[in-house]
Amino acid sequence: MKTETLELTGWGGTSPTVATVVNTTLDGLSSGGGLAALDLHGRGLIARGLGRSYGDPAQNGGGTVIRLQPSADPIRLDVESGTVTADAGLSLDTLLREIVPQGWFIPVTPGTRFVTIGGAVASDIHGKNHHVDGSFGAHVERLGMLMADGDHRFITPASDPDLWWATIGGMGLTGLITEATFRLIPIETVHCLVDNERIPNFDALVERMIEGDHRYRYSVAWIDLVATGASLGRAVLSRGNHASLNELRSYVPKAAENPLVFDPPVFPDVPSGMPNILNRVAVRAFNEFWYRKTPREHHGTETLTGFFHPLDMVGQWNRLYGRHGFLQYQLVVPLEAVETLRAIVAKVSDAGQASFLAVLKRFGAESGGLLSFPQPGWTLTLDLPAGVAGLGPLLADLDKLVLSVGGRHYLAKDAYASPAAIRAGYPRLDEWKAIRSSVDPQGIWASDQARRLNLI
């Protein structure tokens, strides 16, 4: 067990706080006396994976943060059932490097491989396939959890339904997730068969997604939030399915010779101390290039990395926002609230804020997690430089639009929301609080976000 004092932030680089960080395995924690042996400084304890939550859910200023390291046997693949049991501290990157060459893919992936299994459960992550496959929690069959009283339990949706659905999407505030068993997707190649389209405006984009998303397992749109007028909401729509071996032979015969070789490229890290280069002028130029370089229609193949995790090829890309960092603001509004979604897109465009990364997806059914973010609807994600004039009023206006139609904000991305906005967006919050209190009456599990949003 290694203990150190560190200043921590989320991936957005905002709101740093200092905590005691404990790096250990589950065995090391047990042999060291368990949770009772940790000095929590009266501020509690929260788990932290790779720090890819954008705000402060994996920070605990003045308290303790635990990084649970993988064990000696972190991946237990069951090819007969098509499931894997993986340690919570294991990254998706490490898991994929093990299972992809054996013909398996994870059921849900966000836009980065550099999140942990425990974080995937605690955030109930979603991906480009939510409209078909739902969120990560919908595929989990069993969890190992270290409870506040020191008991190590194994739970399922049938054995402990209340604790289960409070933990899926519960931001690590019900217990320390130690492992997860979940279903996998069989694949024949490391390629996807992808259709890319250049879409001229918001209305055309929504129409195309409604009309055709059901034909694809994966769908996402990059949307230009600098464009105005007749080009408001212009986009590049990218949809695809896993490529079979026969399909790969037709498109890339050479790649079909070794169809399951998985070795994602990673370029050098962006250096620290960079000024913010993602201003409105730069973003406008990039957006114009990105939109124009895409053919009106293109059908072809992309690697798993190129399709799912393109930003992972640039190490520490968050440094491009400079010393003030950035906020990622992710919202969901119901499917029928298209006019509200259009108003949100127009407001961001008119405000002149530079969102380098803006994506639109459609969500399917909820997982059942009491604090899980996805609900049937449209989800829009914005990256916005922090510390710029007018950002606070803009986000406050967006909040009003989102909440007016029954939408909500994603806790795993949040560094800004108010307690009132979260209470309005999560109608089962009190139910979640009651379950959490029943398994952690002393309030052992705590985070900066939990205190900021009055979750505890």
- For the chain, domain boundaries: 75-187
What are 67-79's pLDDT values in tens digits?
999 999 999 999 9
| Interatomic CA distance for residues 184 and 330, integer angstroms | 27
Average pLDDT over residues 191-218: 97
pLDDT of the residue at 373: 98
pLDDT of the residue at 249: 97
| Per-residue tokens: 198 | 């250049």
Closest CA to 412 of 373, 456, 361: 373
What are 103-138's pLDDT values in tens digits?
999 999 999 999 999 999 999 999 999 999 999 999
Q: Angle, nearest 10°, between helix axes 202-212 and 338-351?
A: 140
| Interatomic CA distance for residues 349 and 183, integer angstroms | 40
pLDDT of the residue at 365: 95
What are 296-338's pLDDT values in tens digits?
889 999 999 999 999 999 999 999 899 999 999 999 999 999 9
Is the pLDDT at 248 greater than 90? The verdict is: yes
Rg over CA atoms, the chain: 21
pLDDT of the residue at 305: 97
| Per-residue tokens: 425 | 């967006």
Residue 64's pLDDT band (cuts 50, 70, 90): very high
Q: Lowest-confidence range among 217-226, 283-292, 295-304?
A: 283-292
Is the pLDDT at 184 greater than 90? The verdict is: yes
10 Å Cβ neighbour count for 289?
10
| Per-residue tokens: 187 | 């694949």
Q: How far apart are the first and last CA of the chain?
A: 28
What are 394-453's pLDDT values in tens digits?
999 999 999 999 999 999 999 999 999 999 999 999 999 999 999 999 999 999 999 999
| Interatomic CA distance for residues 202 and 255, integer angstroms | 36
Closest CA to 199 of 251, 159, 256, 239: 239
For residues 420, 424, 428 and 433, what is the CA-based torsion angle, rounded to 10 degrees? 0
Residue 353's pLDDT band (cuts 50, 70, 90): confident
pLDDT of the residue at 355: 81
DSSP for 409-435 reads E-TTT-SS--HHHHHHH-TTHHHHHHH
pLDDT of the residue at 134: 98
> Is domain 75-187 classified as CATH 3.90.950.20?
no
Instruction: Please write down the HEC assignment for all residues of 161-224.
Output: HHHHHHHCCCCCCCCEEEEEEEECEECCCCEEEEEEEEECCHHHHHHHHHHHHHHCCEEEEEEC
| Interatomic CA distance for residues 399 and 397, integer angstroms | 5
- CA distance to 157, 201, 331, 367, 372, per residue, from 126 (Å): 19, 25, 13, 10, 10
Residue 273's pLDDT band (cuts 50, 70, 90): confident
Average pLDDT over residues 381-391: 91
Is the pLDDT at 188 greater than 90? The verdict is: yes
Q: Angle CA(70)–CA(75)–CA(77) in degrees, nearest 5?
A: 170
Residue 295's pLDDT band (cuts 50, 70, 90): confident
C-beta of residue 28 within 8 angstroms of C-beta of residue 1:
yes
pLDDT of the residue at 326: 94
List strands edge to edge, sheet with 297-303.
297-303, 191-199, 235-242, 218-223, 358-363, 377-385, 326-334, 408-409
Give me the amino acid identity at 350.
D
| Interatomic CA distance for residues 403 and 444, integer angstroms | 31
| Residue 273 burial (C-beta neighbours within 10 Å; 0-12, 13-18, 19+) | exposed
Is the pLDDT at 356 greater than 80? The verdict is: no
Residue 280's pLDDT band (cuts 50, 70, 90): confident
pLDDT of the residue at 352: 80
| Interatomic CA distance for residues 254 and 20, integer angstroms | 51
